[in-house]
Amino acid sequence: MHKELSYNLHNILNFKIVTSSRLKILNDLNFMFSYFESEKNNSDVILNIGKFTPSDEHSTLVDHKYHIKDNYFYCKDKEGKAKWEVEIFGFEDGPTHINFHSVIYGIEQLLIPDYLAQNIILRPLLELKLFEKGYVTLHGLGIEKNGKACVFAARGGAHKTRIAMDLLRKGGYSLLGDDRLICSQDYLFSYPLFYNLVKFKAEHMNDEHISSLPNKIKMIAHLNSKAFNAKNSSLFTNKARFEKIFLMARKENFVELSYSDVDLDSLAKAIVNSNKMEFISSGISQSLGFVPFYRYMLAYSYVFPDSKIATYWDNLEIKIKEVLRGKIACGITLPDAYSPALFIDLFNLVNGA
């Protein structure tokens, strides 16, 4: 028996996941888009998780592995302790239909059997589909206050989560996203993945690392609590006017925050490169942190060098420049250690001091 889950990204993009999984525990980790769950809709993207027979006839074979034809992709692949096959109809244009089947040789197959399909295929593909509709996805922390939004664009390990927690608790801000954001020319839209995990960290943790056994037990208990899984409107804001962006990096041997001007070209290139890295490696599970989607785009681009897939990164940089033009922007270098004094400096910077 199959289960269907429908999602609505701010009335911009609708998608659906169809699976035979009957998972009851760790539902928020298994289905990372839980914040956007909605009533059934006409879906732009459908992900079917389960065994399938590919329709790869008359395709071009690239590197003995990738089966390519117009608007179509298929391959069998493996990495670490996982192997899978994926088929995508509508890879670069129009409605998209994904077939995905995987086997994970580990506890993840039992606890989060649907996670892999979403993280390595659906999540990056949604970014392509959002771009088709005129929106770009940024990797970073988004905060909101009084209807105005600010972004900290940074890679992992740059104190994003700790900054988010302090701004929520001490600064009177709401979250738009702790890791990813959807943006247009004028607005930022919330894009929280693993909503209840973010909520747990915000309400119960002092930093981003859930390392101790008591904290892991508490996390599992909360993620499986119906009361905890209720939407909390005070934590996230869905939309705010995009005003400021800070390109943030953390460096050793720095003792205090420093900031500098950053030009539009450098800022756009940094964001594009960060997005590329998300198409290579991302996720909550270290053992399943790989993302092969960038390779799949390259294989398709080899066969169709003038396609939307082949020109995506160049066009993305152009669009990001359009979005960022006129925004307040600067580069921030953070010390290795996070401290109350550092938070005060950041708070003052965000508030224009």
Answer yes or no: do 50 and 96 share one domain: yes
To the question of pTM greater than 0.75 for the whole model, the response is yes
Closest CA relative to residue 30, chosen from 15, 17, 43, 45: 17
Answer yes or no: do 109 and 160 share one domain: no
Answer yes or no: do 145 and 283 share one domain: yes
203 within a domain of the structure (yes/no): no
Residue 323, domain CATH: 3.40.50
Answer yes or no: do 5 and 102 share one domain: yes
The residue segments making up the domain with residue 115 are 1-133
Separation CA 213–CA 53 (nearest Å): 43
206 within a domain of the structure (yes/no): no
Give the pLDDT confidence score for residue 223 in this predicted structure.
Answer: 67
Answer yes or no: do 119 and 72 share one domain: yes
Q: How many domains does the chain have?
A: 2
219 within a domain of the structure (yes/no): no
Which residues, given as ranges, of the chain have pLDDT below 70? Answer: 1, 23-25, 205-217, 219, 221-233, 353
Give the pLDDT confidence score for residue 353 in this predicted structure.
Answer: 56
Final residue of a structural domain among 87, 111, 133: 133
349 CB contacts (<8 Å, ≥6 apart)? 246, 257, 259, 332
Answer yes or no: do 124 and 156 share one domain: no
222 within a domain of the structure (yes/no): no
58 within a domain of the structure (yes/no): yes
Answer yes or no: do 264 and 152 share one domain: yes
| Partners of residue 236 on adjacent β-strands | 175
Helical ranges in the chain per DSSP H: 27-30, 108-111, 115-117, 123-132, 160-170, 195-204, 213-223, 264-278, 293-303, 312-324, 340-350
75 within a domain of the structure (yes/no): yes
Answer yes or no: do 73 and 168 share one domain: no
Give the pLDDT confidence score for residue 215 in this predicted structure.
Answer: 65
22 within a domain of the structure (yes/no): yes
Answer yes or no: do 309 and 175 share one domain: yes
Answer yes or no: do 67 and 144 share one domain: no
Burial 235-273 (b: 16+ CB within 10 A, else e): bbbbbbebebbbbbebeeeeeebebeebeeeebbebbbe
Final residue of a structural domain among 95, 111, 133: 133
Answer yes or no: do 23 and 38 share one domain: yes
Give the pLDDT confidence score for residue 320 in this predicted structure.
Answer: 96
